[in-house]
Chains A and B, each alone.
Chain A
Amino acid sequence: MAKTTYGKRKPWVKNLYSNREYPDNYTDVSFLKDLRTNLHVRLYTFGEAVAGITVLNNQISCITGFLILYHMMLVESVAPTSILVPSCIITGIGYLFYRGSSLSMLLLGEDSKTLVTVLLFGYIFSPMLHTLTQAISTDTIYMTTFFMMLFNLMFSDYGLDVAMVSKAISLNAAIFGAICLASRLSTSYHAFVLLVEAAIFFVLYPIMIAATWHPLCMVPMFIICCTALYNISRPVLYLYACSMLFINFVCPFIFVRQQRHKFNIHGPWDEAIVEENTDKNLDENL
């Protein structure tokens, strides 16, 4: 195109059929004027990050607590009944607290049916579960338990809506870990108590947490775990405390620091977002 006609030609229009006078690789001044950056970016403060990470620490402490109970039963420092009774009482209180005013006879009946089924079958099957993995060496058992608990940590529901989260996988991993550990205990009654504890720690406790969680709940949990570990093993205590502090304070700090690199581009090329029709919402939309 001749440069001399530059001032005379028609103004450039953003469509594909005019602009015959312009070369194909012409770039108009309006280029990228619809570009938007960081439209939906939310910057978190350090306080928010610290409060948010406590759900992960809570899960770690939950696993630690379960393993502490296992250790207490393994070394026979506590009788199984003296673990079972208090935890049942606490669970009962927790249940009343959770149901609150919505509690009715009907609901109580339903829930106690579930409870009786679980306890009955747990008790019947505990001798079998106790001997299920007895032939496997202790090292293998502990390693498997480690990985299972790791899976539990990875797939737990921390309130994020991502594909990784799977309540089924995390629960199954934890229960499998518990069954592995059960074989190391002395009697099948011990194994039964351990499985009940596993149900309390990995089924009921997360339900409770999802309903009522406050970041400050982490403090008593941390102290209880530390005290218990102090009596069991010093190195494990240090390990636990250090990783807790690292996760709770250093990680959020790094996260908040890295936030300044957030850079997101939006423009007309973005895919429009529409609500997808699923079996659930189809009827409402009609």
Chain B
Amino acid sequence: MRICMVSDFFYPSIGGVEEHVYNLSQMLLALGHKVVVLTHAYGDCTGIRHMTHGLKVYYLPIKVCYNQCILPTAVCNVPMLRAVLLREQVDVVHGHSAFSALAHEALMVGALLGLKTVFTDHSLFGFADLSAALTNKLLEITLSMVNHAICVSHIGKENTVLRARVAKHRVSVIPNAVDTALFTPDPAQRPVNGVINIVVASRLVYRKGIDLLAGVIPRFKNTPNVKFIIVGDGPKRDLLEEIREKTNMQDRVEILGAVEHAQVRDVLVRGHIFVNTSLTEAYCMAIVEAASCGLQVVSTSVGGIPEVLPNSLILLAEPDIEAIYSAILVAIDRHRKIAAATSSTANGNIPQETARARRKRLKKSVKSVPAISGPTAATSSQTEPVLCPHRCNELVETLYNWEDVAQRTVKVYDRVLQERAFTLSELIYAVYQCGAWFLAFLVVGHFTLLLLERWRPRSRIEVAFESRRRPS
């Protein structure tokens, strides 16, 4: 089938949504589907570009308004979107992220053209403030025109069902994944002199809980063999630098600034423990990447994070300084324990041969039910020594991979393709139910499409060339 991914967020911009769209598209291409990505122009990056494996990306010439989003005009880009959707003979329009105005617009155009629409929500919203109330209303209207919604975690589903008032059976939960082949552990990079490296990798903003981190770091003032490596940039960087100065930890807190996504792995493998202090998070890719690199993850227990990793990989803490501090202490304790247990290797890791042998064994059992220590192991694992990094990588591989995500997404596409497309009266009724004012935009959009049908009829639109597509 032909799928069109629409989001304001795509490469060259970096982030969770971008990664999701890219990896999912690649997997769908591998499965033999045709995928085009629609996004707005990023500076010089404009026009049509082809990426790895023939992924076609339309960088539409639309001005960016705020925070990488286009101005939410709802109807201004109808001709362009229609042209692309018809030219590419799209079957399913798949929008990403509630913040993306382009996705909302394309979903409306898709619904008016009688195409099937799917929407993936990547973030959580509150209900208390004005901006949340406005975004929720917009999402409610968009989702009333969408055949199926996808959320990245169960909390995300609860949140979406509540704020957009969609029927529960129309929302699927399909998590993100991580390419475990890219995020492989390399214990040789860890320091050999008994120092424990704690890695933090996130944008340095309030929502990522950098204020909590700034409270945790000074607690390690008198623990000489603990080092912090902080990756990322943002407005809170000054705060961390100030904390570093004031506590005289210049030699033990390394602030690397922004690092390209491909290089994050090289930093991650240097650490023993990964700390995530987010205040809200729908899925949190960073902790999965870290776990895949074999780090012991310590994270705040907010949003969807408790659902993401099994207890053998993660230590959860309430979002306050004291709790995070004691969770890090537990993690350090675990590392020290394994260091004491295996004196043969400097880093306290099980020798490579054993790990490789185990990997072979595991490969066989992967296809069956993955053996995961359930929540019952939670209490006992507190004192357990930390897992071998390679074992972590294998475990994450069994939990998440893009192929699985793509297959589950294709199931959703198949479902919506079997559904009947919305008729215009159904769309009008659905929009009327949740916000009659939006009908004005819907009507304008509809008549623009009628006009365009006259002016540039569907039959006269040149169909895009498709090179050697495997039959799906």
User: A residues touching B (Cβ–Cβ < 8 Å)?
Assistant: 13-18, 20, 23-25, 27, 31-32, 34-35, 264-277, 282-283, 285-286
Contacts and interface: CB of A to CB of B under 8 A. Distances in A.
Nearest to B163: A265
A18 B158 contact: no
Contact of A17 (B214, B372, B375, B411): B372
Contacts of B25: none
B100 to A, nearest CB: 19
Contacts of A270: 126, 280
A15 B207 CA distance: 23
Most buried by B among A16, A31, A283: A16
Nearest to B395: A17
B215 A285 contact: yes
Interface in B338-394: 369-370, 372, 374-375
Contact of B370 (A17, A32, A269, A283): A17
B98 to A, nearest CB: 13
B168 A31 contact: yes
A141 B157 CA distance: 59
Given A24-B173, A27-B169, A274-B211, A16 B370 contact: no
A273 B161 CA distance: 24
Across the A-B interface, give the 7 residue pairs with the lowest CB-CB distance, nearest first: A272-B319, A24-B172, A269-B124, A17-B399, A16-B175, A271-B280, A25-B172
Given A18-B372, A276-B211, A24 B174 contact: yes
Given A17-B370, A27-B168, A268-B302, A274 B209 contact: yes
A8 to B, nearest CB: 14
Contacts of B169: 25, 27
A24 B411 contact: yes
10 contacts: A15-B307, A15-B308, A16-B153, A17-B398, A24-B408, A269-B156, A269-B282, A271-B279, A274-B279, A283-B246
Contact of B209 (A31, A32, A264, A272): A272
A285 B242 CA distance: 13
A192 B184 CA distance: 79
Contacts, number: 119
B171 interface: yes
Contact of A272 (B174, B302, B306): B302
B162 A32 contact: yes
A31 B319 contact: no
A15 B374 CA distance: 10
B296 to A, nearest CB: 18
B155 interface: yes
B2 interface: no
Interface residues of B, number: 61
A195 B425 CA distance: 67
Contact of A268 (B174, B303, B369, B399): B303
B26 interface: no
Nearest to A268: B155
B279 A272 contact: yes
Nearest to B247: A286
B127 interface: yes
B154 interface: yes
A272 B372 CA distance: 29
B154 A14 contact: yes
Given A270-B280, A272-B280, A272-B302, A31 B158 contact: yes
Contacts of B170: 25
A23 B310 CA distance: 21
A13 B279 CA distance: 24
Contacts of B375: 13
Interface string B199-211: 0000000110101
B174 A20 contact: no
A130 B332 CA distance: 74
A134 to B, nearest CB: 45
Given A16-B308, A286-B247, A274 B319 contact: yes
Given A268-B302, A282-B243, 16 more contacts: A16-B153, A16-B173, A16-B283, A17-B175, A24-B411, A25-B168, A264-B128, A267-B159, A268-B303, A269-B124, A269-B158, A270-B280, A271-B302, A272-B279, A274-B209, A277-B211
A124 B450 CA distance: 74
